[in-house]
């Protein structure tokens, strides 16, 4: 629960500060930063809720893994 709670806090803070996160991503050259930052934040939130409530844990862990995988 603590791990999932930490991930949820990160996701919520990211969603609350989308303009700043999108601006940073655009400065780093991320294509379609507005869509990708929003999608990554939503995936992180969905994954954290899935892990926390233990609903479809493999899918939830996979969502979190997709978000945290460096490119």
- pLDDT tens digits along 49-59: 777 777 666 66
- Nearest one of 4, 41, 8, 10 to 25, comparing CA atoms: 41
The distance of Cα 61 from the centroid of its chain, to the nearest Å, equals 12
7 in Cβ contact with 44 (< 8 Å): yes
Q: If you ran DSSP here, which 8-state letter would residue 56 be given?
A: S
Number of domain units in the chain = 1
4 in Cβ contact with 47 (< 8 Å): no
Please report, in angstroms and rounded to a whole number, the separation of the first and last CA atoms in the chain.
28
State pTM to two decimals.
Answer: 0.67
Give the range of the structural domain holding residue 50, as residue numbers without chain letter: 2-68
- For residue range 13-45, list pLDDT tens digits in order: 888 888 999 999 999 999 988 888 888 888 888
């Amino acid at each position: 629960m603590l791990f999932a709670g930490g991930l949820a806090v990160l996701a919520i803070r990211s969603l609350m500060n989308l303009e700043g996160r999108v601006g940073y991503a655009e400065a780093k050259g991320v294509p379609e930063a507005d869509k990708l930052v929003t999608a990554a934040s939503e995936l992180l939130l969905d994954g954290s809720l899935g892990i926390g409530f233990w609903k479809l844990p493999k899918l939830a862990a996979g969502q979190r893994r997709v978000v945290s995988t460096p490119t």
